[in-house]
Copies of this chain bind each other. A is one copy, B any other.
Amino acid sequence: MKKGQLTVAVVGATGAVGQEMVTILEERKFPVAELRLFASSRSKGKSAKFNGRDVPIGELVFEASLFRGVDIILSSAGSSVSKQFASSAVKAGAVVIDNTSAFRMDAEIPLVVPEINPEDIKKHRGIIANPNCSAIIMLMAIAPLHKKNRIRRVVCATYQSASGAGMKAMRELEAQTRDVLEGRPVKKEVFPHQIAFNLFSHNSPVQSNGCNEEELKIIQESRKILHDDSIQIVATCVRVPVLRAHSEALFLEFEKKMSAREAREILRQTEGVKVVDDPKANYFPMPIEASGKDDVLVGRIREDGSAQNGLALFVSGDQLRKGAALNAVQIAEKLIRM
């Protein structure tokens, strides 16, 4: 990667993650010489604010010339879009940091959480994959513990916000909530089931083994990021009527005893993690407090006597920031420092 100011493109700039990417590039003073924004033709004529200026949003067309001169592309416009443009963008000289599931499990492509496996960035050949949001948020809490004392098994139950299904899903949660409060029938456009005052098993296709795709991502991506194919993971992924932060109840089984005190100490020293764990005040991680924050909140840290070397945790992390846009920008930051 060249030094100095860069030409950066955001693909999917009008989406919930894309907007957050633009905000975070500005907040973190990423060295942007020129920002180019792309979205589908539906966003024609729109623009977005960046450092006080209006940046027009161009239509994403699948032509090799589109990304000429672009150094880094942050992409979050869906898996099929990424598959269409990524290789030609790489040929044109750009590095693609891709927030979709298109390339995550490709053995040749690094899948990175910068606090956990930054060294994998070096192996890239033009594409670096940004992991699934639930996987990132879980791993932020468990990877530092796993490094000290191997985790044999993770049981994960998620409480996932609407934002994971995009901006329209967040608006649907609000609109349905108004409908329920006013006694009107709810309209379902994004989610298959009512989300207002309700919850349901994650709306991704269910495989023949009974796992849905979100659960499979947590299992497979975690193994790849931790470089540990033998860690056992089971997850139940659930959508809850929360706007933009995911929470997870985690139950860990370690190789050797891990005390709650030691886990708390390790997590207190972990970059990107904030320990929120005050039993006396009954104050623990909550999605409204994780929203808009960079840190993943971790609490309810306690030993679990029901399993050998068991430890339980509860985490909340902003799905749009650390779960998506922030992690992508952090990958870009590591990349330009290498």
Contacts and interface: CB of A to CB of B under 8 A. Distances in A.
Interface residues of A, number: 58
Given A157-B157, A282-B192, A198 B306 contact: no
B159 A310 contact: no
A71 to B, nearest CB: 39
A210 interface: yes
Interface stretch (A49-57, A58-66, A86-94, A237-245): A237-245
A282 B203 contact: yes
Contacts of A193: 283, 286
Interface in A221-260: 232-234, 236, 238, 240-243, 247, 249, 251, 260
Contacts of A251: 155, 234, 236, 251
A201 to B, nearest CB: 4
Contacts of A45: none
A304 B199 contact: no
Contact of A303 (B206, B210, B283, B304): B210
Contacts of A288: 194, 197-198
A257 to B, nearest CB: 15
Given A201-B300, A234-B304, A279 B174 contact: no
Interface in A22-42: none
A249 B239 CA distance: 12
Contacts of A284: 200-201
Contacts of A194: 286, 288
Contacts of A238: 159, 247, 249, 314
A302 interface: yes
A307 B234 contact: yes
Contact of A314 (B236, B280, B301, B314): B236
A338 to B, nearest CB: 35
A178 interface: yes
Nearest to A154: B306
Q: Which of A193, A249, A303, A304 has the most CB of B within 10 A?
A: A249
A185 interface: no
A4 interface: no
Contacts of A154: 306
23 contacts: A157-B157, A159-B199, A159-B240, A173-B197, A194-B288, A197-B241, A197-B242, A198-B288, A199-B240, A200-B284, A201-B284, A201-B314, A210-B260, A210-B301, A210-B302, A212-B282, A234-B304, A234-B305, A234-B312, A236-B300, A236-B314, A240-B240, A251-B251
Interface of A: 153-155, 157, 159, 173-174, 177-178, 181, 192-194, 197-201, 203, 205-206, 209-212, 232-234, 236, 238, 240-243, 247, 249, 251, 260, 279-280, 282-284, 286-288, 299-307, 310, 312, 314
The 6 closest A-B pairs by CB, nearest first: A210-B302, A157-B157, A206-B279, A232-B306, A157-B249, A236-B249
Given A153-B306, A154-B306, A198-B242, 11 more contacts: A155-B155, A159-B240, A177-B177, A197-B243, A198-B286, A209-B302, A210-B302, A210-B303, A233-B306, A234-B307, A241-B241
